[in-house]
Structure 1
């Protein structure tokens, strides 16, 4: 499915409730509150729980089905399949771009940070662990900002990475540390922009942004790198950059 379509569905400011439902259900599946093989609650139950319209619930469920989280069964409902895994060669263009930024991305800076619960969970680290973080500004051809990304490296690799390397951190880590990137886990959602994001991305209307968290795992399914990106939905160049 093209990112343009996914982006319109997930980040549509007319229905931030849609993204809330998607993220909530993904989280419950990840935490096995909805186990693989179980039936998801009905549309009516979800509509009542999230206090929204049935059409909004249906759109959220349709997105999850297309992404491989759910499977519809005639006469029964939707069965949980679990978190889908994507191979590196089959990544959508946006993910490859975020993992291996080209001339449209510039390194803003790097520093040690304390792992938030979200990033700690993605990298299987303790909350509060010291991580290397590199911040990038993503721009269109005319240098207008269209997004920001922060790359986090696991504690085991913190002292073995040069974020100024050419060609992206994943190939560099593979060459330097003998690690093979085997698969990635990607989560896409949407939320209201922060004040800092509004200023940096020069947002004007519909101040919602798409968020993309990509975790890269090695052959032993151990995560070693995560990319946390915020993408503007106001620049027409965004679709040209990220769509195939």
Structure 2
């Protein structure tokens, strides 16, 4: 005797929605069909559709924006190990007043490196958020968030107040996309005059300059997080599988 397994209807809908998102039929940032449209297309009751959409949201495929509807995030973020990665930590870090000093929030011309990482014209302007992170009374690092103006303007990202939540959620909400992966670039150099003043280091000090470019599932960059670290105050450690 043979048995055929038929997945429950909500699971069938989940599988089909994931297929459409992965194929690009529903690209990141695009609105999902309404509950009524899905009910009509798949011949399912509303509770079944709502259950499927809830699973897709919880698993990171879609997001819900109050008063606007549901939008595609893209393929869920790449699986990561238990070791915290610098770029991801920067993306989720809150600007806590006790340990963070907000130095600058404003519209600036994108430096050539930032324009290249964001894939924008070299003459374009970006919103820059620059903070100094303190350890005790000593400045520990300078963290800058570089954002396309059309994403940041009009949101908390462009406000002259500390962010109570990480940049990730604010960018995803403002852009209507899901951030999927980070590409990191690490260089070493001497400090600029501004960095000497902010960090209290000498002109010959060695700095680590790390750029974390956060992209959606299609590879489109949405924000660059930069952290400038005095070499004598930090040690970077990473751990990852080799098979």
Normalised TM-score (structure 1)? 0.56
> Which residue does 1:197 correspond to in 2?
195
Aligned 1:26-175 pairs, distance under 5 A: 87=78, 89-90=80-81, 92-102=84-94, 103=96, 104-140=99-135, 142-163=136-157, 164-175=162-173
Stretches of structure 2 that go unaligned for 5 or more consecutive residues are 1-76, 239-243
Distance in 1 (alpha carbons) for counterparts of 2:215 and 2:132? 24
Distance in 2 (alpha carbons) for counterparts of 1:212 and 1:180? 22
Normalised TM-score (structure 2)? 0.56
> Which residue does 2:212 correspond to in 1?
214
Q: Secondary structure at the match of 2:171?
A: helix
Contact kept, 8 Å, 2:115 with 2:122, in 1: the verdict is yes
How many residues align? The count is 154
Q: Secondary structure at the match of 2:133?
A: strand
How far does residue 88 in structure 1 lie from its aligned partner after superposition? Answer: 7.6
Structure with higher Rg: it is 2
Distance in 2 (alpha carbons) for counterparts of 1:132 and 1:205? 28
Structure with higher helix content = 1
Distance in 2 (alpha carbons) for counterparts of 1:161 and 1:115? 19
Quickly say closer, same or farther: Cα 1:101–1:223, change in 2 above 3 A. Answer: same
Distance in 2 (alpha carbons) for counterparts of 1:89 and 1:197? 33
Contact kept, 8 Å, 1:88 with 1:181, in 2: the verdict is no
Distance in 2 (alpha carbons) for counterparts of 1:111 and 1:93? 28
Contact kept, 8 Å, 1:94 with 1:243, in 2: the verdict is no
How far does residue 202 in structure 1 lie from its aligned partner after superposition? Answer: 1.3
How far does residue 204 in structure 1 lie from its aligned partner after superposition? Answer: 4.7
